[in-house]
Structure 1
Amino acid sequence: MASGVQMSAPVCLIENTKEQMKVNQKSLEILSSITNPVVVVAIVGLCRTGKSYLMNKLAGKKSGFSLGSTVQSHTKGIWMWCVPHPKKLNHTLVLLDTEGLGDVEKGNNKNDTWIFALSVLLSSTFVYNSMGTINQQAMDQLHYVTELSECIRSKSAPNSDEVENSSDFVSFFPDFVWTVRDFTLELEIDGKPITSDEYLEAALKPKKGKPEEVKMFNLPRQCIRQFFPKKKCFIFDRPVHRKKLSQLEKLNDSELDPEFVEQVKSFCSYIFQDSQVKTLQGGITVNGPRLENLVLTYLEAITSGDMPCIENAVLALSQIENSAAVQRALTYYEEMMKQRVQFPTETLRELLDIHATCEKEAIEVFMKDSFKDVGQKFQKELADQLETKREAFCKQNLHESTKRCRTLLQDIFSPLEEEVKQGAFSKPGGYHLFVQRNKDLKQKYYQQPRKGIQAEETLQEYMKSKKDVVEAILQADQSLSAKERDIEVERVKAQAAEAAAKHLEELQKTTLEMMEQKEKSHQEHIKQLTEKMETERKLMVAEQERALALKLKEQEDLLKGGFRDETERLQKQINSLENQLENSKSGWGICVIS
């Protein structure tokens, strides 16, 4: 894959021991190196239902995830296999295989719920694998889904309205795929053939009756519909005779039931084509490092006895990402400035123009990787740091200019200083000769390129240091009358006053240019922030529209079935989603950096 990661076999992501669940550091190192967007497919189900076989097929391998052909459960915790996505260029397919739920060897099944919840939280497609048919027993075995709202929070401050709050899960829960293994029934209802998806929809329909009588029947079905608005079903025939199941990973497709082979191909094709990139609320794309941080955040909450909170996890991730984005932007700015600035610049404007270009690009670097920057805390930090670095480059520019000018003055005027020492101008007419010589050397100095913005100030500083020498030559020139000396003194004073006035003007110009640049920087930050927020708003709208469309379709199906009570409950969720969508479309709550 583009990130350079090549996994020949799966590694354990989360170890599930008798004491606790913990992260395998090797898996985190792998995730941290994957810069591509990730499509995360997790599979859960009871022990020995063939989960690993499907995951190996998705990896394009015969073996890898342990199949566990005996009655003993093999997979413990959550195992991970990262492979190049077979259909999406520059994407990585992350496969998560989980230990079997309900393993009698565990004795304590409390971690089953957390394995189930983590699989939901980390995946973009969640596969539930079961055997036989989708009947009440299968639903009872899927009781973990009814516990999701008790072990996952969407927001740090939960909504008091439990039903309305459940609509928050819709936008970040994965797509749901139910795979039914060793299916032996005919796909038909009332003598009419149906698809596997229609079979699932029929199995998920609630039962009419008194609430207390139908509660246990309806609850898992309601939770699946409530949490997973997008659902898909695949059925699989038995692959081979039962006695050959232990050799399944060694058998070629030609040795398997042809129907089963086609069913597996159809399943893999759907996962490759339809499974989406893992995203966070607001359409934030997840890559390897972001998935790594999500794993750590969720597991830390679980092991500390807390409930994993989606909002807190996203905010914690944003703190890490935004801080790193600031550093990347600052590093980029410094590197570009060092490449593009040739010290000293002839004018301050030249330096500020290069700064403006580098700053614009640095802000783009920050915007690309940052998200959920509450109150633009990190962008303000970036703005302050860029201003500090700009000032440092300005100071360096001054220093380099002064250094070069002093070197030039020393080289150009040292012969004149030597002539003064030898008394070349201590004679009648020597003063005018000195003035002309000085004028010629000044002209030579002015002709030198790339002196920078300190050229005039450094020259005046040098001339001022030679004031006593000039005065001595003037007074020693016997050819000048007292009046001529006085006129010459006044002329020198006027030149000094003119130079001081010019210097003051330059300082005022510099101050104005710096103020203008500061305002331009501020406007650039606002411009890019506004564009980013508009992009995020559109992603949020699209996300909410998808969720709403799925809920409306569900409501329509329930109405056709005559389940009026269910549709009334669903209407609360629809109203909540419609309000969120209206706020997103109007840009309510959006603010920009001040």
Structure 2
Amino acid sequence: MSWFGRSASTAAAAPASKALPPVKVPQGKPVLLIGFNEASRTWEVNPDAVKLLERVPGPLCTVAVCGRARQGKSFLLNTMLGRLTGQELPKGFEVSPTQHSCTRGLWMWSVPIPSTDANGRPCNVLLVDCEGVDAVDQGQKHSAQVFSLAVLLSSVFVYNQLGAIDAVALERLAMVCELAKRIKERSATSGRGGGQADFHPAFVWLLRDFQLQLAGAGGSRGGKGGISAGQYLEEVLADVRGGGGADEDNRNQMRATIRAVFPDRDAHTLLRPMLLEEDLNRLDKITFSQLRPEFQKGVGDLMVLLHSKEQPLQFAGTMVSGRVYAQLAGAYVTALNEGAVPQLVTAWQGVARAETQRAYDAALASFAGGFREEGVADEAELLDSYQAALSGAVKLFKESALGDPQLVGEHEERLRKVADGRFSAARTKLRAASEAAAEALLSAERAKLRSMMEGAGASLDAIEAELQRFLAEYDRAVQGPWKYRRASEFLVNTAIGGIKGVVGRIIGERDGALRKVAEGEAHIAQLRVEAGRAAEAEGRASGLARDLAAAREQLARAEGQVASKGGALGEAQAEVARLSAQVSQLEEAGRRLQADLAAARNEGSRAAAALGAAQRAGAEAAALREQLAAAQAVGDKAKLEAVAAEGRAASLEARLSAAEAAGRDAGALRAQLAEVEAAAVGARDAAARAERALDEERAVASSKLKEVTDLTAQLLREREAHTATREALAAAQQQQQFASTPAGARPSSPFSESPGPSPAVVAGDVARARAALPADVSSLTLAELKGWVTEHMLEDEEFMGLAAKSKTRKADWVAYVKRRAGLPA
């Protein structure tokens, strides 16, 4: 049995436990539990705390956190409070970023938190925050008393310490255990009831900001996972062997005292909650979810460990309530005020340890002043600064330290570990800052390149120039061993993929241009069909000319008949002569109409052939419209003359009637007159038919002229776009070949060489096109000859000129294809 009335056990014997879900409790506040009266130099229990405790039912489980000043005890308790109550940023114990301690004496949280102990029994958890020991404004006696009261008044005692366990911490803890033993014994003999408490606190040594790898004795890590923090604690508390003498006995006695006071013990490690110093100075404003994920996990594991240690305080076999807890606090304070202070080390040991500690503090300050953590360019410069600062600090420490070599060696090792921790933290911060800068640059450039590549009219030259500019800036701004790997990933995932997309769009545009050329050729074929229809119209005009010739013959016959009748028909003959003149005029008008029609037909042929001369086609169209207007005027005049001829025929009929009355031979004259009238009607009908045909041909010619003009402009634009597309495609193919080069070859500037302008026709393309021709080129049809040129993208100005002609010989196309293929004529 231990002196606490409980058999010794190790952390491994603790029952398995899980963290409990958070519970909602009323908002509380920190309340002073035990304070120090500066006037009377005694400890006192706060009456306000007693009133609060008297309302708390049992069983009661207290968790106290103690340790050196300014090492995050209050922050840890606030984090535990938030995990127990489900608050992200609880308003708990005061946390200060300055060098001054926030907590004086022992403080408790005013609202106990309902929970269960390690065995699942309901209990109320009370959180206790302790004044930091070894504060600059308190002595060792004061620190030991605070430490001892925390041990005596807790069911789970958490010792908060930065870094690894050292000899000073063991000595301090042993002294506190001895003091707690004295206080308990004095309170038992004084008759105040404290000696009847079944006091058995569980002990957790919490190692904060711990960066070391835990290995077994002799450097063995004990397997893949090393040793646990609890095993590390047991190694530290084991008896030391070697050297003998009083010093070894003292050290083993200290370890035995700790093992006796804390039979149920364990250890736990936590990383730094944040990496940046400015974040560490405002931890009271940072929510739990914003802390480092590793720290969050460590806190979760700590809560599970503490819950497995929770056991209610007992008094005479009865669970301690808040009222009894207040009475125990009063008994321990009275015993402490009556002088229960142990003396564990000799005067010389104390002096030597104090001087060595001062040498350590001075060396640590020297290191902090010489180690330049901010403003370094890279890790090499940071390492140089660290090594120089550490060398100076170790030299200063060895010059000032006192005591035996083991004591000096322990402090030197501690100095090196602290310095190494500072260096590791600074290196981590430098890497984090560099990586953040790299990520910011890469993210911004990724968005910029995506905008350039996905926008209309994406230019590979502009993308290359932007990449060269960015990589130069990235090389200057980013440091770290991984910067080239990140740049390579960026180029592979963003730049090359985007360039492939641009090349794909260029190929798509080329295919679209080829489709438009094919559509243009089909449209030309349609125009040729329309030209055939114009030829048919020409045939119809020829028929009209034949009809007009027949009418002229009829008129000539009528004139002969009239002339044979002699002088009796003089006036009729004169009239017929006038009609003859009118018919001649009609014939002249018909010839002019035929000339105008031929000019319009020729003008349409020239417009279809002049694909490269749009302006001249427009001028000719204007001239055609003027000629058509003149033809319209002639037709109108012919109509008027036909009407006049009808009038004169009527007058002649009247005169014939008068001649009949005079006894002349009117029958013959009337027959002749009928023939003349029939000839006039035929002439008028022929003129009307010629006018209608002219109107139809004028409409067809105007429509065809507009189509030819539009097609000429369209084919010129498509030819220019096709040429530009071929050049862009050649450049894109060279860029794509360059982009497929491994990114690691030249990480600093993967686009240092320009692909240069693309030739209009590549030799390899002509060779492939020539291979597709048969031995006898003249065996190909006209359509096959044209298709060979367009399929292999060999169009040029001569091709467009041949295609523009309405009629071309096959021999011309055969000669052109041979020239393009480089074959002899």
The bucket for the TM-score relative to the shorter chain is 0.3 to 0.5
TM-score (structure 1 length as normaliser): 0.46
TM-score (norm 2): 0.34
Which of 1 and 2 has greater Rg?
2
